[in-house]
């Protein structure tokens, strides 16, 4: 299991830990979708695709290590060289469950209230796990921003 915590200095930067060992970092993009993942000293870029809700994990040499589609939906897919896997957001929105082609649960990304998360996705490479985590964190940030704007508009409109 990988624990993820905000570094505190910047709310868009997270550290990946397994026990006390630092595995890498995840940085969310400023205002646009995307970000950066660094795992074991290797840098990857998270790029937004041309379609809404599509993202790619791009290595330094330009190759696509993983791709995700329909990320802003309740059920979304993650495609790697090993095949396609599906994530499904739980009803309360606190976790994402990874399922295989047969619908069996294979792993989980669990979010905490204090800008952290736990990733348990056995069978996926560490950069792909960090990519899935980045997508979950980006969606959480997007939902917070929408909620903030909606609250501000409703207060101003009174």
Q: For tokens 């026990």, name the residue.
A: 19
- Do residues 124 and 107 touch, judged by C-beta distance below 8 A? yes
**Domain spans, the chain:** 2-156
**What pTM value is reported for the model?**
0.79
Residue of 157, 112, 127 lying closest to 58 (CA atoms): 127
114 or 110, greater pLDDT = 110
The rounded Cα 18 to chain-centroid distance in angstroms is 17
How many other C-beta atoms lie within 10 A of the C-beta of residue 15? Answer: 16
CB atoms within 10 A of CB 139: 20
Best CA proximity match to 58, nearest among 74, 42, 72, 76: 42
Per residue in 114-155, pLDDT tens?
A: 667 888 888 888 999 888 888 888 776 655 555 565 665 555
């Amino acid at each position: 299991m990988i624990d993820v915590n905000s570094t505190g200095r910047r709310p868009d930067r997270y550290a990946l830990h397994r026990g006390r060992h630092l595995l890498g970092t995840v940085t969310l993009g400023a205002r646009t979708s995307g970000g950066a993942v660094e795992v074991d000293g290797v840098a990857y870029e998270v790029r937004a695709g041309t379609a809404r809700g599509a993202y790619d994990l791009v290595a330094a040499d330009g190759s696509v290590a993983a791709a995700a589609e329909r990320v802003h939906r309740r059920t979304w897919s993650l495609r790697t060289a090993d095949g396609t896997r599906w994530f499904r957001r739980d009803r309360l929105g606190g976790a994402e469950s990874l399922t295989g082609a047969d619908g069996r649960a294979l792993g989980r990304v669990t979010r905490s209230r204090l800008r952290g998360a736990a990733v348990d996705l056995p069978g996926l490479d560490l950069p792909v796990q960090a990519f899935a985590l980045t997508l979950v964190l980006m969606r959480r940030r997007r939902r917070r921003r929408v909620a903030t704007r909606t609250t501000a508009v409703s207060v101003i409109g009174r």
